Structure 1
Amino acid sequence: MKTPIFYGAVHLLFYRDEHVLLLKRRNTGFEDGKWSVVAGRIDGGEEVKSAAIREAKEEAGVDILPEDLDIVGVVHRKNVNSEWIDFYLNVRAWSGEITNVEPHKCEALAWFPIRELPEPMIGYIRMALEKDHRLLWFESLGW
């Protein structure tokens, strides 16, 4: 029996007037040059919403209260050498001005019409953005 190795990640879905906030990755070693959302790994001993709040501050410079986050989707994703549990959180409100706090890892941070997503985009992020977020959804990818 293999010992499972799971990593957790949070993906924040910021919406404003039928637009979604996306960032273009660079210098990370993973999917660089592609559009994604504010996201990051869950640290050990860290709860999902706490991780989302930390990532929002680290990447976009904004503060979020736990009650302003809703988990809208979960993905069990398999990469070549790892397995991930990805949590997608809708951000209902935030304080502060969204800004690119990590320009060394983020080439651009911009709002896009939800029906006109840019290319190239990370595939599982596009899939998540196309989901209906009124009900909690689940996907398995890479199996």
Structure 2
Amino acid sequence: MGERERYMQSAAVFMILRKDTQILLLQRQFTGWMDGHFSFPAGALEAGETVKSAAIREALEEVGVTVRPQDAAFAHMMHCKTGSSAWTGYFFTSVKWGGEPRVCESDKHADILWCESTMLPDNLIPYVRQAVEMIDRGEAYSEFGWEN
């Protein structure tokens, strides 16, 4: 029997801010990938971070809000394949934060949008749409992009 080869993949984190029945979305721009589409405050997991602390950091960096760890609740995990890349996405939600959400990285985002989770914009990134639908159904896990 040969030696087992470990598979390494990246992780992405997402912070869903909820206000009553609405969720906050960010519109991408100038990134070269899915520009004009909406997503959540999100980014890559960095060395030395937990997925929760990374999601909290992204909320601060991208929309200028402070989420306390006890106010960030795990909502969904998605195993994704986009193009030739495989990664795992971790989605957290918060209904409490400090500060007023705003675009903090105008070199990456054009606008913020509060919308009903049942009335999502057409130009929402497809795996983000799937995550919202799964979270609203209470599903903790899904897969995206693995169709053969």
TM-score (norm 1): 0.92
Q: CA deviation at 1:75?
A: 0.4
SS in 2 for 1:33: coil
CA contact (8 A) 1:9 1:85 kept: yes
Q: Which runs of 5+ in 1 are unaligned?
A: none
User: Which residues of 2 match residues 88-99 of structure 1 at below 5 A?
Assistant: 88-99=91-102
Q: CA deviation at 1:94?
A: 0.4
Equivalent pairs, count? 143
2:24 maps to 21
2:83 to 80, 85, 100: 80
Matched, 1:12 2:15: yes
Q: Which runs of 5+ in 2 are unaligned?
A: none
Q: CA deviation at 1:136?
A: 5.2
Instruction: For residues 38-62 of structure 1, give each alpha carbon's deviation from its aligned partner in whole angstroms, at most 9, with x where no partner exists.
Output: 1111112211111011101100001
Summarize the Cα distance change of 1:136–1:66 in structure 2 as closer, same or farther, 3 Å threshold: farther
1:139 to 127, 130, 142: 142
Q: CA deviation at 1:2?
A: 6.0
CA contact (8 A) 2:134 2:142 kept: no
Instruction: For residues 13-51 of structure 1, give each alpha carbon's deviation from its aligned partner in whole angstroms, at most 9, with x where no partner exists.
Output: 111121110111011122111111111111122111110
Larger Rg: 2
Q: CA RMSD in A?
A: 1.7
How many percent of aligned residue pairs carry the same amino acid? 36
SS in 1 for 2:134: coil
CA contact (8 A) 2:60 2:66 kept: yes
CA contact (8 A) 1:5 1:83 kept: no
2:55 maps to 52
1:104 maps to 107
Q: For 1:101 and 1:54, locate their aligned partners in 2 and report how far apart those are by CA, in whole Å.
A: 13
TM-score (norm 2): 0.89
CA contact (8 A) 1:11 1:86 kept: yes
SS in 2 for 1:131: helix
1:114 maps to 117
